[in-house]
Amino acid sequence: MAPRKKKETKQTGKPNINAYISGAGLTVEQPITETLETNYMPYAMSVIVSRAIPEIDGFKPSHRKLLYTMYNMGLLTGSTIKSANIVGRTMQLNPHGDAAIYETMVRLSEGYQALLHPFVASKGSFGKAYSRDMAYAASRYTEAKLAPIAAELFADIDKDTVDFVDNYDATMKEPTLFPVTFPSVLVNANTGIAVGMASSICPFNLREVCETTIAYIKDNDINVADTLLAPDFPIGGQLLYNRDEMEKIYETGRGSFKVRGVYTYDKSQNCIDITEIPPTTTSEAIIEKVIELVRLKKITEINDIRDETDLGGLKITIDLKRGADPEKLMKKVIKMTPLEDSFSCNFNILIAGSPRVMGVKEIISEWVAFREECVRRRVYFSLTKAKEKLHRLKGLEKILLDIDKAIKIVRETDEEAQVVPNLMIGFGIDQIQAEYVAEIKLRHLNREYILKRTADIENLIKEIADMEAILNSRNRLLKIIIKELEAVSEKYGMDRKTQIIGASVEDDGEDELPVDNSPVTLFFTKDGYFKKITPLSLRMSGEQKLKEGDEITQTVESTNAAELLFFTSKWQVYKVRTADFADSKASVLGDYIPSKLDFEEAENAIYMTETHDYSGYMIFVFDNGRISKVPLSSYQTKTNRKKLIKAYCEKFTLHTVLFIKEDTELLLKSSNGRMLIVNTAQIPSKSTKDNGGISVMTQKKGQRISEAVLYTKGDLEGDHRYRTRNLPAAGSKPPVGTAEQARLEI
């Protein structure tokens, strides 16, 4: 492989083309870090800043380019026009193609029903957010215009309230942000996946958002949860409310909550109609899951299920068998299908070009600061215009003293270019005032016209004084913002669509669900992937598919009725039922546990335990030779809690986690070459999960446990020499010439 050729650079800083040409065709070494910095990082930053993450006005660049184009086309008023026309015009600002632009318009439209307050009024088939198969029509068949609420996005945009930049080919100007009069970033849902980060902002009720923002402006120490009750989704549904969890989301910008569908029972037809579903699923997904459960005989009360969605809205109808209990059935459906689903929040927003995950109060604070600057710039713009007008009118006022003199100067001036200078000399006015006077039509050179114009001087002086007072008083600016928020809330506010119900309802009827005790084989990998495979599928499958560099660390024969405990790198344990996972195959990667169980950021799954009765012990081996023994029953809870903190001791660095049904022997190996066999019966068990255990294998400075495994008698020659009655112990080194000594030397 040829050595890397350093490319010479001229003093101008531009690369020397000859250096590249001379190295053409050669394979050169390049550190991966340099490739990432020079090639991948610019792309990643472009996706984060220019595509996927919304800004404080609540929009991504693609949204902003489309809406601003429609605003320039005069679509705030008048009738709708063909969507294809709008898409074509938007390409002057957005070079990403007509398909991407039209998809953006679809999501912003009333017909699609993805937003609480859509910004695009639509005509034609725009699909539905709650349907996977209900596709939108082509842009040549649909029509659109801006919805009335879009006027709040462009209020005073022509008064220098926001910055404008060149478009991609520098032929037009476009705004960097919209001067929105309300926190639209919290009102309409916004999701995006960038490189290495994502954003997921749930929608809130417009009235509640405006009320909360006004309350924050008046008192920064408010509790947001008092006025901002809970998220509100366009499709409705029932939100399972937990005050503590909601306040955590409001404070940190991260977390999740559950949303449940809404149904009614028609006794005359013996059927159930589902009319509202969670925002994270589709009607097709729910129907397919119910059909699968019926096929597997986990649900036996259903005769038929069909999609009856029409112009009236979403409707999934379930025909029941005679004698079936609708309430018990729906508890099963809610538990086992996406009719109840979690919405994960990640309030990641671009602030001054940098992504930040913020709580609701911090988002409102940033929006108020942004809106305050918009209002300040608007007032300053109006102040400048008023001062310019006052200056011109004062010049006109001087003409009032002698109109005949002005006419005489103009008439007796030989050259046109001398008219303005002669007026300046004759009346003692400057060039701007003289230009204004010179442009007055002859018909207006009368006392009545001039008196009407100069009568505005006194009003202008008062307006200028008032605007200067506003600029010098933050309270005046904030009062303007509050007044605008109240007007928006009054004009566009709507009642909540999503019902708020107590989270305690969530656990009702869980014990009544049937338990499927069929056998399964569980696979858990080093990188945190999990598979549940039935015996039939396992017999017919080939090699297990794994991510590159991954390997299977645990294979457990179990049943669908077992409970699983996933211990994590952040001293926590997540509990879930085996039945909660869908049957998998060897040909797929499986479920990624940190994503499936909604782990915290940078939290990884390190060990899986399967149990039916919570018997046995968890063994935690630490690098310093200490071992903690915790009864598995310590992790059993009366309520169906999904996560337990302080699952093991965080004071010491963890080396190995093991589950044992009963006391057995462990083989410990140290980095100094010593080995120790210890019976777990010698280690006292403590019900306190995060106890530090006892010192078992002593380690000198710089030494650590290198391996800890279950020991089977006979695995080592002369294993008696590695056993000891007293703990802690240093262990023994293998005798010279033994197979174990040879392995250590290797």
User: So which residues are the catalytic ones?
Assistant: 141
Residue-wise over 408-436: b if at least 16 C-beta within 10 A, else e? ebbeeeeeeeebbebbbebbebeeebbbb
Pick the closest to residue 558 from 614, 513, 605, 518 (CA basis). 518
CA separation for the pair 552, 590 (Å, rounded): 12
- The DSSP secondary-structure symbol of 520 reads E
| Helix locations, 609-650, DSSP H | none
Tokens of 125: 């088939």
Tokens of 677: 């066999």
At 375, the amino acid letter reads V
At 581, the amino acid letter reads F
CB 471 within 8 A of CB 383: yes
Partners of 715 in beta bridges:
none
CB 196 within 8 A of CB 175: no
CA separation for the pair 60, 86 (Å, rounded): 18
Pick the closest to residue 174 from 76, 75, 63, 88 (CA basis). 63
CB 108 within 8 A of CB 178: no
Task: Give the distance from CA 469 to its chain's centroid.
Answer: 41
First to last CA, the chain: 31
- Alpha-carbon radius of gyration of the chain: 36
For tokens 């404070």, the residue is: 251
Question: Who contacts 113 (Cβ-Cβ below 8 Å, separation ≥6)?
Answer: 128, 129, 130, 234, 235
At 238, the amino acid letter reads Q
Residue-wise over 147-182: b if at least 16 C-beta within 10 A, else e? bebbebbbbbbebbbbeeeeeeeeeeebbebbbbbb
CA separation for the pair 28, 648 (Å, rounded): 49
CB 587 within 8 A of CB 545: yes
CB 184 within 8 A of CB 470: no
Question: Who contacts 74 (Cβ-Cβ below 8 Å, separation ≥6)?
Answer: none
Number of other residues whose CB lies within 10 A of the CB of residue 133: 10
Pick the closest to residue 181 from 370, 379, 380, 377 (CA basis). 370
Pick the closest to residue 734 from 680, 695, 677, 656 (CA basis). 677
DSSP secondary structure of 58-71 = S--HHHHHHHHHHH
Backbone angles phi, psi at 634, to 5 degrees: -65, -20
Q: Tell me if residue 479 falls in helix, strand or coil.
A: helix
CB 718 within 8 A of CB 664: no
DSSP secondary structure of 470-537 = HHT-HHHHHHHHHHHHHHHHHHH----SSEEEEGGGGGTTGGGSPP---EEEEEEETTSEEEEE-HHH
What is the enclosing helix (H) or strand (E) of 254?
strand 254-260
Tokens of 280: 């994270």
CA separation for the pair 129, 111 (Å, rounded): 9
CB 538 within 8 A of CB 610: no
Residue-wise over 486-506: b if at least 16 C-beta within 10 A, else e? eebbeebeeebebbeeebeeb
Pick the closest to residue 251 from 363, 92, 354, 331 (CA basis). 363
